[in-house]
C-alpha cells in the first residue's frame, strides 16, 4: 500500500520522521542513551574495544561513513569503514579488541554476511545494525541493534538510511558513556538533538514541492555533482548514488576540499552542482570554506544548488537555487540534508518517465556475491 503516494519511495521518504523516532525510542531516556543489546555484551568487552571497523555496501556504507564521525567523536575509538566485499579480500588486521559493526537494511546482503562470518571466525565482536527482524546477519552477530524503520519496499533506500545513521549515533553515545569519553554535556546535547530530530526531518520533507520544480527544469541534465565536507561528504556520495540508481544519470559526490585537487576541471558552463553547506553558526570555519568552494565553482560557470541552514545569507549571492534546512546540531545535518537529495532523485526519475521503485538491473536485496 503506497498510502496515496505515486511510489513506495515517495511514501518512505515521508515516513522518515517516524522512522528515526522509532529507532531512538526507548534508547534515549531522560537524556541518557542506553542500548540494551549492547549492554548485554558486557561493559568490560565494550571498554576493551580499541578499533572499530564498519562494513557495509552501497547506501549502508555511506550511513557507516557518517556514523564513523560520530562514534569517533563520542567514543574516541578509531573507526574505519570498509565495503564488505573489499574487507574480506584484503587480509584485514583483526584482533579480539576489534569490533566489527555491519550495517544492512535487509540483513541478507551476501557480501556483508560473508564479511561478518569472516570476522566472527577470527574472534572479533560483531554488532549488526539491521532493519529486518531475525534476518541472517543479525542472527550471525554477537549483538543486533535493530533500526525499526519499518519495511522498506522501494529498491532505493531512504528511511533505512536515516535510521541507520540514527542507530550508529546511538551506538557511539552508548560506547562513549561506557568508556567514559562522553561528557554529560555532550550526552545532553545529543539527547536534545534526537528529541528535535523528527520535527527537523519533517521540515526537510516539506522541500518536496521546491525540489519537484527544480527537477522538472533539469529533466535533460546528463550529469550532476554533489559536494560536501565532513559528514556532508558521505551525504554527497549518497545523493549521487540515488541519482544513478533511479534516474540513470551520471552523478558523483566529492569532498569539497578535494575540488582543487582535480574535480574542479569538470566544472563547465551550466554544470549542476549540489552543495551541502554546514551551519554558519555552529561550524563557522567549515562554513566559510564551503562558501569559498561555491565561489570557485560559480566563477567557472557551475549552476549551484545550495542546501543551507535557514537564515544563512552568505551563500545567496552565489547560488542559483537555495534549499533551506531546519536548524540542527552539525553531526545531525546529514539526516535533514539527505532528504531533498532523495526527493531530487525521485523527481528526476519521474520526470524521465522511469519506474522509481523498480530501477533496471537492481534488486532490493543482493543475495549473491
Ligand atoms: C541504495 C541501495 C543499495 C543498498 C545496498 C546494501 O539505495 O539500496 O546500495 O544500500 O545494496 O543493502 P543492505 O542495506 O540491505 O545490506
**Model confidence pLDDT, tens digit, residues 49-73:** 999 999 999 999 999 999 999 999 9
Contact, 280 vs 309, CB < 8 A?
yes
Model confidence band, residue 248 (pLDDT cutoffs 50, 70, 90): very high
Residue 297 CA, ligand 1 centroid: distance in Å? 31
What residues pair up with 306 in beta bridges, in sequence order?
Answer: 275, 322
State the pTM of this model.
Answer: 0.98
Q: Which three cell numbers stand for residue 313?
A: 545569507
Ligand 1 atom closest to Cα of 365?
15
Cell numbers 569538470: residue: 266
Q: Output the ligand 1 site: residues, CB below 6 A.
A: 57-60, 104-106, 109, 112, 155-157, 241, 245, 365-366
Q: Which three cell numbers stand for residue 41?
A: 555484551
Residue 234 has pLDDT above 90, yes or no: yes
Give pLDDT tens digits for 132-173.
999 999 999 999 999 999 999 999 999 999 999 999 999 999
Specify the pLDDT at position 364: 87
What's the average model confidence in pLDDT over 317-344? 97
The residue whose CA has the least distance to atom 3 of ligand 1 is 58
Ligand 1 atom closest to Cα of 132?
15
For the chain, percent of residues with pLDDT exceeding 70: 100
Active site residue 310: no
Specify the pLDDT at position 322: 98
Average pLDDT of the chain is 96
Residue 353 CA, ligand 1 centroid: distance in Å? 23
Tell me which of 12, 57, 161 to substitute to probe ligand 1's pocket, judged by most ligand atoms within 8 Å of the beta carbon: 57
Rounded to whole angstroms, the Cα distance separating 312 from 146 reads 36
Residue 361 has pLDDT above 90, yes or no: no
Residue 209 CA, ligand 1 centroid: distance in Å? 27
Residue 369 has pLDDT above 90, yes or no: no
Mapping DSSP onto H, E and C, the string for 121-172 reads HCCCEEEEEECCCCCHHHHHCCEEEECCCCCCCCCCCCHHHHHHHHHHHHHH
What's the average model confidence in pLDDT over 348-360? 93
Model confidence band, residue 360 (pLDDT cutoffs 50, 70, 90): confident
Model confidence band, residue 97 (pLDDT cutoffs 50, 70, 90): very high
Residue 366 CA, ligand 1 centroid: distance in Å? 8
Ligand 1 atom closest to Cα of 242?
7
User: What number of H helices and E strands is found in the chain?
Assistant: 14, 12
Amino acid at each position: 500500500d503506497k498510502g496515496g503516494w505515486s511510489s513506495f519511495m515517495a511514501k518512505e521518504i515521508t515516513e522518515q520522521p517516524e522512522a528515526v523516532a522509532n529507532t531512538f525510542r526507548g534508547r534515549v531516556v531522560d537524556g541518557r542513551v542506553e542500548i540494551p543489546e549492547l549492554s548485554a555484551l558486557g561493559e568490560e568487552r565494550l571498554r576493551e574495544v580499541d578499533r572499530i571497523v564498519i562494513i557495509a555496501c552501497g547506501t549502508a556504507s555511506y550511513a557507516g561513513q557518517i556514523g564513523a564521525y560520530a562514534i569517533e567523536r563520542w567514543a574516541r575509538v578509531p573507526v574505519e569503514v570498509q565495503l564488505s566485499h573489499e574487507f574480506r579480500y584484503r587480509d584485514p588486521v583483526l584482533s579480539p579488541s576489534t569490533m566489527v559493526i555491519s550495517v544492512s537494511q535487509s540483513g541478507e546482503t551476501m557480501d556483508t554476511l560473508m564479511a561478518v562470518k569472516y570476522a566472527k571466525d577470527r574472534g572479533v565482536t560483531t554488532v549488526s545494525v539491521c532493519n529486518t527482524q531475525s534476518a541472517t546477519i543479525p542472527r550471525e552477530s554477537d549483538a543486533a541493534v535493530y533500526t525499526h524503520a519499518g519495511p522498506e519496499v522501494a529498491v532505493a533506500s531512504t528511511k533505512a538510511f536515516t535510521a541507520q545513521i540514527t542507530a550508529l549515533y546511538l551506538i557511539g553515545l552508548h560506547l562513549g558513556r561506557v568508556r567514559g569519553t562522553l561528557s554529560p554535556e555532550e550526552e545532553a546535547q545529543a539527547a536534545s538533538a534526537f528529541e528535535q530530530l523528527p520535527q527537523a526531518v519533517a521540515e526537510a520533507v516539506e522541500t518536496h514541492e521546491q525540489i519537484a520544480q527544480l527537477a522538472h527544469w533539469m529533466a535533460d541534465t546528463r550529469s550532476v555533482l554533489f559536494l560536501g565536507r565532513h559528514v556532508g561528504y558521505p551525504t554527497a556520495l549518497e545523493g549521487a548514488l540515488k541519482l544513478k540508481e533511479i534516474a540513470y544519470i551520471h552523478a558523483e559526490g566529492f569532498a569539497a576540499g578535494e575540488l582543487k585537487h582535480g574535480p574542479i576541471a569538470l566544472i563547465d558552463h551550466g554544470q549542476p552542482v549540489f552543495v551541502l553547506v554546514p551551519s554558519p553558526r555552529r561550524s563557522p570555519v567549515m562554513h566559510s570554506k564551503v562558501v569559498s568552494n561555491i565561489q570557485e565553482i560559480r566563477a567557472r560557470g557551475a549552476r549551484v544548488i545550495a542546501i543551507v541552514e535557514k537564515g544563512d545569507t552568505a551563500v545567496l549571492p552565489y547560488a542559483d537555487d537555495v534549499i533551506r534546512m531546519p536548524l540542527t546540531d552539525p553531526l545531525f545535518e546529514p539526516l535533514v540534508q539527505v532528504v531533498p537529495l532523495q526527493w531530487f532523485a525521485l523527481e528526476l526519475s519521474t520526470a524521465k518517465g522511469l519506474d522509481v521503485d523498480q530501477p533496471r538491473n537492481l534488486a532490493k536485496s543482493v543475495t549473491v556475491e
